[in-house]
Amino acid sequence: MKTIIIDDEQDSRDTLRNYVAKYCPEVVVADECTNIIEAQKSLKTHQPDFIFLDIEMPYGNGFDLLDSIKEIDFEIIFVTAFNQYAVQAFNLSAAHYLQKPVDIDELIQAVAKVKQRIEAADKIHSSQILLENLSALNTQHQKVVLPLIDGFIVVKLQEILYCEAQDNFTCFYLTDGQKHLICRKLKFYENTLSQHNFCRIHRSYMINLEYVKRYIKGKGGSVIMENGQEIQVANSRKQDFLSRMQ
């Protein structure tokens, strides 16, 4: 696979180039760029399979580069020192990212995922979803990419009523009555969605607080969702739920 490293910091480029050469032998670094002007020319010349893209650079940031491209026909591994809210946006968007300083195991894993997506011709357009999510940080207007057994779906957070853990899978119940079995554990989505008005109220359930219609008192109590579904609240999670509702 052919790649381009786009980063204005010489040390970062050197480290990433050396790591790729040593730990990712299936990857060839075709070029290195220090700003988006150089990157625009290099992309046309080398037509890489994927790029390593730093976010903050002179003459515009990494997202300005993506905005300038009519059709993104390559995969992207973002390299970032962004804060936790932005990292959540990366997770929601199924975008590949590495946080500085780059961890070798995370690099190997990101490259493997890119290779898998390229070989499967599985084009999620995660970069466009990411741009939308970053423009609406910490709101339910963000979108999440949900991996299915036979592909993926993209839904807005405001379309999710609640989630149910089912062994190593998570079942998403949507406002339109649909439900989808997703190939990830509920714990992953608890970590990703907790800042977006979702609350884990039971070891098997996480709900969208936007759609709580009623709370019924009890040892833990239960909630009635807008679709009429009653879900138990674990006693150990009751206080967190009530404080979140306030």
pLDDT band at 215 (very low <50, low <70, confident <90, very high): very high
The predicted-structure confidence for 25-35, as pLDDT tens digits, reads as follows 999 999 999 98
Tracing tokens 């040390």 back to the chain, one arrives at 11
Mean of pLDDT values over 49-68: 79
Rounded to an integer, what distance in angstroms lies between the CA atom of residue 234 and that of residue 193?
Answer: 19
The region of weakest confidence among 189-198, 201-210, 229-238 is: 189-198
Q: Report all structural domains of the chain as residue ranges with CATH numbers, in order of start.
A: 2-134 (3.40.50.2300), 155-245 (2.40.50.1020)
The pTM of the full predicted model, rounded to 2 decimals, is 0.55
pLDDT band at 90 (very low <50, low <70, confident <90, very high): low
The predicted-structure confidence for 136-161, as pLDDT tens digits, reads as follows 554 666 788 888 877 778 888 889 99
The predicted-structure confidence for 106-141, as pLDDT tens digits, reads as follows 999 999 988 888 887 655 555 666 666 555 554 666
pLDDT band at 85 (very low <50, low <70, confident <90, very high): very low
